[in-house]
Amino acid sequence: MADVRLQFSVQPEPELTGLGLRLRPWDPESDADVSAYLRGLSDPEFQRWNTPLRFVRDIDSAREALRTRVAAATSGTGFSFCVTDAGTGGTLGHIGVNEIDHVMSCARVGYWVLPESRGRQVATRALALAARYGFTGLALHRLDLGHAVGHEASCRVAERCGFRHEGTLRGAMFEAGRHDAFRDVHLHGRLATDPEPAPAE
């Protein structure tokens, strides 16, 4: 197993382009990146549906969270992307290929979009690019996508990108803002052998 992890730990952090987007690594030393990341995680709609393992409530904790994501990329266990507009360079949101298991050839994807960028299929386009990278760049066999039951917007994004709804995981996610209570999760999955969905618009 160590040899497999070492193989992927030397890969450079990628940049992904297409569908009007540029996905680049977050820079924890960039004040603009740290501020955008903090704003995304402070958004009430994000907090309604997501509860991080470690709460990010200020600039210092946001910078530390991004440094943790850089460390994951260095070790080959996760790649986190700042989703930007390919034309203007403006930050639109975040997407990650997380919890990469190179032995089982699988990973988990997650995303969020800044409030002013919603309604433009940013998450759909970003997920299409990230999934393509997971299957071709990382040669993974399976990608999981889980969201809180009731998060219909995320459900639509998953389905548009070919992630089939596979069932409900009981009590598999923290309740909003809590680490002592749990809620159910819709599990979606996509295999490298599944048909490629129609291009996102």
- pLDDT 10s digits, 121-137: 999 999 999 999 999 99
Per-residue pLDDT tens over the stretch 156-198: 999 999 999 999 999 999 999 999 999 999 999 999 999 988 7
Does residue 90 fall inside a structural domain? yes
Does residue 152 fall inside a structural domain? no
Coil, strand or helix: which one is 33? helix
Q: Please state the pTM of the whole predicted model.
A: 0.93
Count structural domains, the chain.
1
Do 86 and 22 meet the contact criterion of CB atoms below 8 Å apart? yes
The predicted structure's pLDDT at residue 200? 59
Contacting residues for 93 by C-beta, under 8 A, at least 6 apart: 40, 83, 111, 112, 113, 114, 117, 122, 123, 126
Does residue 102 fall inside a structural domain? yes
Residue 91's DSSP bridge partners are: 84
Q: Which domain covers residue 92, as residue numbers?
A: 16-145
CATH number at residue 86: 3.40.630.30
| Dist CA 37 CA 135 (whole Å) | 26
Per-residue pLDDT tens over the stretch 47-73: 999 999 999 999 999 999 999 999 999
Whether pLDDT at 11 is above 50: yes
